[in-house]
Structure 1
Amino acid sequence: MAAATTTARRGGRDRVPAHPELRDVTLQQVLEALVDPVRRLIVRELHAAGRDLSCGTIDLPVGKSTATHHFHVLRDAGLIRQYYVGTSRMNALRAQEMEEAFPGLLCAVVSAPDGS
């Protein structure tokens, strides 16, 4: 996988974690990220909200460190973009980009009943 394109700014200013270009993300990576029910829940919550959400506003059935891991996996698979507003880490679903890269996949995931 190619190096991520976004870097964090230093000195307490806006910090942005690294994000992959979707052309460098494989379908395998996306499917592996979506196999976990907690990560599907995060994707569904972001889709349903229709806006960016902070990590803490999404009610997850896991602890904080495990939730951080799940957000990291989704970010590495290109499903979400993260950035800071003050001390809150915001999450944006990369819906349009995912639709262009993998047509219909995200729609199928968010509309399918969850078997978990």
Structure 2
Amino acid sequence: MPGEFPIPPINEVNLDDVLAALADRLRRAVVLELMNRAPGEYPCSSFTLPKAKSTRTHHWRVLRQAGLIRQRDAGNGSFVRLRDEFTEHFPGLLEVVKAGDRASALTKSPASGTDADHS
């Protein structure tokens, strides 16, 4: 597709690169947000990433090179979407990441309501 940034063939995508990309909380948040949105592509500018263009560019490049996303240039902006064939290549991986992120958020936030240990 014209304007699409290069990505590795799906059979060359390896787990080490994927896990390294997802180890960064900002990149993981982008992938999780893409998972939660309706299927399709979205403007890169619609994601919360650092303001410095070079830093945003770095995060998008890491996600592309890891094989997680597709990104295309469209004039003054670019668009991103999850790579369709990723879930076929690593079935269940993104769901595990999503569940782990949810569990991590629960352990970091204070419990609401009454605490059974303090009755």
Query: Structure 2 length normalisation: TM-score?
Result: 0.76
Give the gaps of 5 or more residues in structure 2.
106-119
Percent identical pairs in the alignment equals 41
**1:8-41 deviation line (CA, Å, top 9, x unaligned):** xxxxxx4221111110111111111111101101
Query: In structure 2, how many angstroms separate the alpha carbons of the residues matched to 1:87 and 1:61?
Result: 19
The alignment covers a number of residue pairs equal to 103
Q: Is 1:23 aligned with 2:11? A: yes
The root-mean-square deviation of aligned C-alpha atoms, in Å, is 2.0
Preserved contact between residue 43 and residue 110 of structure 1 (Cα < 8 Å): no
Kindly provide the CA deviation profile for residues 14-70 of structure 1, in whole angstroms up to 9, marking residues without a partner as x. 422111111011111111111110110110111112231111110124532111101
- Residue 101 of structure 2 corresponds to 113
Q: How does 1:1-116 map to 2 (within 5 A)?
A: 14-50=2-38, 51-61=40-50, 63-94=52-83, 96-113=84-101, 115=104
Answer 1 or 2: which has greater helix percent. Answer: 2
Gaps of 5+ in 1: 1-5, 7-13
| TM-score under structure 1 length normalisation | 0.78
